[in-house]
Amino acid sequence: MVCSAQSEPNAELEFERFYNALKMDEIFNGLGGNVEVDTKQILADTLKDLPESQKQFLINAMGTAVLAEPSDMSAAKMAFKLKILSLLSPEELKIAADFYSTNIGLKAHRAIIEAEVAASNVLD
């Protein structure tokens, strides 16, 4: 019997699949195209529990341009990315990307957003 080694999914690749499947650029644009994000605070909050190697990887991936302009779309995407990468393993991210790449997954995502807005309106 031959065992084939399966490599762990690439977090960067799976994040891009996930982000695109959710149509996050479209969602951010729907928020007015100018999302206020405190990336320094999000970075600090997100990285506090990560292993040192992951911290350095994410800090290097951020770059100074994103930190310098927290209100642009790339800052919003980076904040989203940092939070998602802190909450989901590469394997979980792959599973989520696979699901949200389907019509049902995208429909569920849109339904969740609309339901959260409805609930938020009641709580306001």
pLDDT band of residue 60 (cuts 50, 70, 90) is low
Give the per-residue pLDDT at 34. 47
Instruction: State yes or no: pLDDT of 100 exceeds 90.
Output: yes
Residue with tokens 């911290």: 55
- Who has greater pLDDT, 87 or 68? 87
Q: Quick one: tokens of 58?
A: 């994410």
The Cα 16–Cα 107 span in angstroms is 19
Domain residue ranges of the chain, discontinuous segments joined by +: 11-123
* Residue 87: burial class (beta carbons within 10 Å; 0-12, 13-18, 19+): exposed
pLDDT band of residue 101 (cuts 50, 70, 90) is very high
Instruction: State yes or no: pLDDT of 66 exceeds 60.
Output: no
pLDDT digits (tens, 9 = 90+) for 8-52: 889 999 999 999 999 888 877 766 544 455 555 666 566 777 777
pLDDT band of residue 53 (cuts 50, 70, 90) is confident
The Cα 13–Cα 16 span in angstroms is 5
3-state SS string over 80-118? Answer: HHHHHHHHCCHHHHHHHHHHHCCHHHHHHHHHHHHHHHH
DSSP for 32-67, please give it: TS-----HHHHHHHHHTTS-HHHHHHHHHHHHHHHH
Counting Cα atoms < 13 Å in the Cβ hemisphere of 55 gives 9
